[in-house]
Structure 1
Amino acid sequence: MPNDERRRSAPLLKAVGSDHSSAIQVSEEFAQTLEQMRAVLTPILGPQAVAALYRRCLHLCAATHPCFESLCETEETAMNTLPFKTMLAQQSSAEARRRGDALVTTFHTLLASLIGPALTEQLLGDCTAISKDRNDRQSSAD
């Protein structure tokens, strides 16, 4: 991934889960972020294209994170983040964050390779802001 692309996706990734979050909290944050991304992209790309993009990201992540392999076995026609959320919740908090980062980064990078980094940032920028705001509220409540 080019450095410029890493910088663009970094705010989204840093916004999910503080160091004191449990794996369950981290999994919920990543699932909410992915659902926001789905909600933004579905009217533009269509539900089948978003689901295909998500499934491709799961397959790409499975190459470096074997825990994703079981998520690749389903042939769902819609983007279903529940199995991903469940898998993350079973990890340690640090592992959940790493694996969630891997999927969100892959999703962001793959989308940028298809529609361009500027349009990806334009479309997913609100997801970043919402995720960061949610994380800031969570951190202040602790």
Structure 2
Amino acid sequence: MKKLTAGKTAAVVAVAGGAILASIAPVLADVSAQSPSQALVRVESPAKWKALGAAVEVDVTFSCPASPSQGYVNISISQTVLGGVASGGTSKSVTCTGAFQTIKLSVTAQNRAFRWGTAYAKAELSSWPHSATHEGEIQIRP
């Protein structure tokens, strides 16, 4: 019977450990894809023009780790229009499930009516102790 040296034993243990890790790695990746450990939020484009510009309806996709407390999604939209700036904002209470969710929010114009075209949107997700922000240009379409 052959005796294994310390170097050979370490090599066998390393190969076996690598095989075990390789077999469970896809499972770990799948779990992390389903339940992110941080908050994420994104304003979807295009937003839908409603009531001749009195409001726009926008989809917001978000995710936050599941917790017993609720979170809040806040959104503001502003757009340069002839004679000034159209703007508005709204917020909604959400439940964090750990999965990606999409909600529809109606943003009412405050000063002037929104028009078709490019606007600037900012969304914020707050769910203690996590938060996220997304801002950038969106399109408003009929």
Higher share in strand: 2
* Higher RCO structure, 1 or 2 (CA under 8 Å, sep 6+): 1
Structure exhibiting the larger radius of gyration computed from Cα positions: 2
Settle same-fold status: TM greater than 0.5.
no
Q: TM-score, normalised by structure 1?
A: 0.28
Q: TM-score, normalised by structure 2?
A: 0.28
